[in-house]
Amino acid sequence: MMAHRKVPKRVFARAKEDAAVAETATETPQTTSASYKLAFQDSDFLLRDDLRPVRFQLELLKPELLLEEAGIGSTFVMYGSARIPAPDKADALVEAATTDRQRRIAERLKAKSRYYDEARKLAAIASRCPTDADGKRQFVVCSGGGPSIMEGANRGAHDVGADSIGLNIVLPFEQTPNPYVTPQLSFQFHYFALRKMHFLLRARAVAAFPGGFGTLDELFELLTLVQTGKMAQLPIFLFGEEFWRRVVNFEALVDEGVIGENDLNLFRFVETAEEAWDKLTTYYATRDRIHLHGDPSKAA
């Protein structure tokens, strides 16, 4: 009987191989025409409006494949403002203010700078969670990949030598990934919808720090998905009760009858990284979903 090792694994050339051959084609009026390009090498073709569904699929598929190959089993997503300064930069922000209004705003941002450190500590704690029985990494830190609170989150993972994810997006103004995102887990998106989908596909806990439109958008979409049963319940932490109660009157929504009183149980207010992690471990221990061994006392 013929040995199986003599049977070829494939009989067609790989796309990469044909692409390399196509690059060496003799130049003629036909081969230099845009129509002659291989479809997957033709960026003008891929960027046509007609190809939007294909681009949706590509933006869904590329991060999914790379995260799966990286052994990412679950993530701890951290939302938050791109404007809150790190504590060591807060004073400079106040000093740069030139009007009373600017100074008041700078002072309030300075007061919230402690959440940079809380995001950093929480990320360090989560990043110590061991792999599961299948070798999958659990509660890998995932942020929007930008500055401020997002930087604090990725930095916390970096502090303890762990990988972290950054989901960046193309914006009219430059949005460079912060330097603490693991390069191989740094992704860029064109579509907000696909980016938000990847935030939640592997999320098993979410922390929302003080933030603006983007943070509110991401938080309320998450709450809506859980409220409507489109997504299973998971720990959702709002850092900074004073901030959240000031910018969102949750009780008024209940009083107006537009949400139910039980909907207020979808999230928990917390102030510190240790408090959030303690609530997370309690949540999963009581439901026996994921066995955790993280030790907050060992976090940087």
Architecture of domain 73-292: 3-Layer(aba) Sandwich (3.40)
pLDDT attached to residue 291: 46
Is it the case that residue 171 has pLDDT exceeding 80? yes
Report how far residue 146's alpha carbon sits from residue 167's, in angstroms, rounded to the nearest whole number.
8
Report how far residue 141's alpha carbon sits from residue 163's, in angstroms, rounded to the nearest whole number.
8
CB of 296 within 8 A of CB of 277?
yes
pLDDT band at residue 10 under the 50/70/90 scheme: confident
Which pLDDT tens digit goes with each residue over 194-225? 999 999 999 999 999 999 999 999 999 999 99
If one counts every other C-beta atom within 10 angstroms of the C-beta of residue 16, the result is 7
The domain spans of the chain are 73-292
Any bridge partners for residue 168, and if so which? 188
Which pLDDT tens digit goes with each residue over 84-137? 999 999 999 999 999 999 999 999 999 999 999 999 999 999 999 999 999 999
3-state SS assignment for residue 205: strand
Q: What is the pTM of this model?
A: 0.89
| Alpha carbon 55 to chain centroid, angstroms | 20
Query: Across 171-185, 253-267, 280-294, which has the greatest mean pLDDT?
Result: 253-267
Which pLDDT tens digit goes with each residue over 139-161? 999 999 999 999 999 999 999 99
Find tokens 């390399």 and name the residue. 20
Report how far residue 8's alpha carbon sits from residue 166's, in angstroms, rounded to the nearest whole number.
40
Report how far residue 18's alpha carbon sits from residue 123's, in angstroms, rounded to the nearest whole number.
44
Alpha-carbon distances, residue 17 vs 11, 22, 24, 31, 256 (angstroms): 13, 9, 11, 18, 63
| Alpha carbon 98 to chain centroid, angstroms | 35
CB of 77 within 8 A of CB of 203?
yes
Is it the case that residue 298 has pLDDT exceeding 50? no
Report how far residue 286's alpha carbon sits from residue 30's, in angstroms, rounded to the nearest whole number.
67
- If you average pLDDT over every residue of the chain, what do you get? 92
Q: Is 20 exposed, middle or buried (0-12, 13-18, 19+ CB in 10 A)?
A: exposed
CA dihedral 120, 204, 192, 181 (to 10 degrees): 30
Report how far residue 283's alpha carbon sits from residue 238's, in angstroms, rounded to the nearest whole number.
16
Is it the case that residue 300 has pLDDT exceeding 60? no
Residues with Cβ within 8 Å of residue 246, at least 6 apart in sequence? none
Which is nearest to 278 in space by CA: 216, 221, 208, 205?
Answer: 205
Which pLDDT tens digit goes with each residue over 54-87? 999 999 999 999 999 999 999 999 999 999 999 9
